[in-house]
Amino acid sequence: MVTPGVAASDAVDSIVGLATVALVRDDYAAALAAYDMLRARRPSSPVAELGRAYALAKLGRRGEASQAIDRAEALGGPPANVARLRALVR
């Protein structure tokens, strides 16, 4: 029998794994797609917004990246990570 909470947690871990592999491969479009999936499952996740911001910045979509950074900060994202991403987007 599968416990629903465990299955959902495994799915989230898998999505984060997909995003990580995409980032390592410099496949920012795939990373963005994975972080979008994560955001759909966990809309209040600062991790999803920080990941989206990084991928968007690498894709040259700086306006959207700035919005994602703002959302990550509002959701309680680590201040040091928020600051690093803001510097990247400038």
**DSSP-based three-state secondary structure for 35:** helix
pLDDT tens-digit profile of 18-30?
Answer: 999 999 999 999 9
Residue-wise pLDDT for 44-72, tens only, equals 999 999 999 999 999 999 999 999 999 99
Say what the pTM is.
0.87
